[in-house]
Amino acid sequence: MQQPTNRLNVVAMTTRKIGVTELALRDAHQSLMATRMALEDMVDACEDIDKAGYWSVECWGGATFDACIRFLNEDPWERLRTFRKLMPNSRLQMLLRGQNLLGYRHYEDGVVDKFVEKSAENGMDVFRVFDALNDPRNLEHAMQAVKKVGKHAQGTICYTVSPLHDVQGYIDLAGRLLDMGADSIALKDMAALLKPQPAYDIIRGIKDTYGEDTQINVHCHSTTGVTMVTLMKAIEAGADVVDTAISSMSLGPGHNPTESLVEMLEGTDYETGLDMDRLINIRDHFKTVRPKYAEFESKTLVNTNIFQSQIPGGMLSNMESQLKAQGAGDRIDEVMKEVPVVRKAAGYPPLVTPSSQIVGTQAVFNVLMGRYKVLTAEFADLLLGYYGEAPGERDKDLIEQAKKQTGKEPITERPADLLEPEWDNLVEEADELDGTDGSDEDVLTNALFPQVAPGFFKTRPDGPKNVGKTKEQLEREEAKASGDATAIREPIMYKVTTGGRSHTVSVEPA
């Protein structure tokens, strides 16, 4: 009888490459610090980001356009051009709100075409196109516009949980997006609701139904504490690309850490190919930058209440900031409990911009003023169908209240079909403003934010910026925290009397 040998059977292991989208330049600071990070604090990391080996770099769209002109006195188009120049080897990616573009209303198709065209000209490669209601009618034209300029159209499924949402529904929606010409599918979990098993089932279902070559990108926030496991199950199910944020810009209402993903995949059948030395450089850069923006930071680390409220990460820090400004910062828990009530009344929309802001603001009104004593104009329009078709039935009594308040009738058609061509009018409006340069980009900036843009045009590029704390302020805080009592870090006031007259003198530290 032949004796067994001690020889090991070595089986060659083939690894599957997992692409990574880095979020530090957009969604990370939108979620952690109310979108306040200035371009000046990003540029020094761009070379390492460009050479780290990411599938794409998300750096534009979402709330960044608004924040640039509202708070930072930055031209968002110049920000995009700068990123294109500093990251020539990278796919630049943006988040586009379908027919809403980057604003909070629907724009007619010609404006959508122009915005996509100018975004591509200024350097954008990948357009992640989503709709707050997952209404395919609000996605189709934007997707066609992206395809027309030869860029990557990523059709997006906004993940949510309700009595009306199930795995098969998400698989079917993916099919509709592919029929529109989507180059890839994004499963977007904006509130950290996507648990591991549903992620596996949805991704595996899409692959089984439409083919293994269907590219699937997965975006998760980290707020509830479960989604690093979700990313692993998504990869096992066949996900091709996952979104992460460098560790010094991660966690809380933000995202899972990039370096942690790399380490998690070590010894498995999957690898990212990212350059860890570059990642460390990126990490250390933002570790130094982040304290500047402490005043804007969300205090949330882990919040499992979000499984009920479904507040997205990007909204949480902004909502906390808004409540504090109204002297109601201590009522955030009440508002979060009210959000599911409002969401049910609106037909269970996913909560993502702008539906998250609309539902969230109505929840704030309900808490501060009494339930539905006042309907916001936006919530009334949501009830009446002017943002699109909700997944479920809306509250009939509130629809009647919205009709009386607005004088509008409910609609069932695609909202943009009601809009007249408006580009020529938008050009005329921009031409009348001080400080515009006559470019299509300025016309679009004013079209997206007509209340904010005129002031921005007047002050750029020399107007005031709100870019967090200065280096000197941080040094004083660091010395104070370290107990350095010998260092003079604050001005000292002296009262000096000469010639019978008293004077107050302030002496600044050297």
The answer to the question of residue 452 being in a domain is no
Q: What span, in angstroms and rounded, lies between the C-alpha atoms of 412 and 389?
A: 7
Predicted confidence band of residue 306 (pLDDT cuts 50, 70, 90): confident
pLDDT in tens, 391-403: 999 999 999 999 9
Q: What span, in angstroms and rounded, lies between the C-alpha atoms of 135 and 388?
A: 6
Same domain, 338 and 397: yes
In the chain, pLDDT over 70 holds for what percent of residues? 87
Name the residue type at position 47: E
Same domain, 175 and 233: yes
Which of 198, 196, 201, 157 lies closest to 180, judged by CA?
157
The answer to the question of residue 354 being in a domain is yes
Token duo for residue 218 = 């997965």
Does pLDDT of 246 surpass 80? yes
pLDDT in tens, 313-328: 656 666 777 788 888 8
Q: What angle do CA 482, 488, 493 make, to 5 degrees?
A: 135
Residue 135 has what pLDDT?
96
Q: Which residue has the tokens 């006042």?
A: 374
Q: What span, in angstroms and rounded, lies between the C-alpha atoms of 333 and 153?
A: 38
The answer to the question of residue 341 being in a domain is yes
Domain ends where: 416, 435, 459?
A: 416
Same domain, 247 and 382: no
The answer to the question of residue 442 being in a domain is no
The CATH number of whichever domain residue 188 belongs to comes to 3.20.20.70
Mean pLDDT of the chain: 89
Residue-by-residue DSSP string for 353-369:
TTHHHHHHHHHHHHHHH
pLDDT in tens, 409-444: 999 999 999 999 999 999 999 999 999 999 999 999
pLDDT in tens, 1-40: 444 444 444 434 589 999 999 999 999 999 999 899 999 9
Q: What span, in angstroms and rounded, lies between the C-alpha atoms of 133 and 138?
A: 9
Which of 225, 408, 377 lies closest to 304, judged by CA?
225
Same domain, 485 and 405: no
Same domain, 104 and 226: yes
Residue-by-residue DSSP string for 284-312:
HHHHHHGGGGGGG----S--TTHHHH---
Domain ends where: 252, 269, 296?
A: 296
Same domain, 47 and 159: yes
The CATH number of whichever domain residue 398 belongs to comes to 1.10.472.90
Does pLDDT of 467 surpass 80? no
Number of domains in the chain: 3
The answer to the question of residue 444 being in a domain is no
Same domain, 230 and 374: no
- CB neighbours (10 Å) of residue 424? 9
pLDDT in tens, 77-97: 999 999 999 999 999 999 999
Which run of H or of E encompasses 413? none
Does pLDDT of 282 surpass 90? yes
Question: Quick check: 21 and 244 in contact, CB under 8 A?
Answer: yes
Same domain, 166 and 212: yes
Residue 502 has what pLDDT?
59
Higher pLDDT among residues 300 and 138, named by residue: 138
CA distance readout (Å), 145 to 100, 103, 149, 492: 14, 17, 7, 61
Helix (H/G/I), strand (E/B), else coil: 106:
coil
Domain ends where: 416, 434, 449?
A: 416
Higher pLDDT among residues 466 and 265, named by residue: 265
Segments forming the whole domain that contains residue 263:
16-296
Same domain, 226 and 342: no
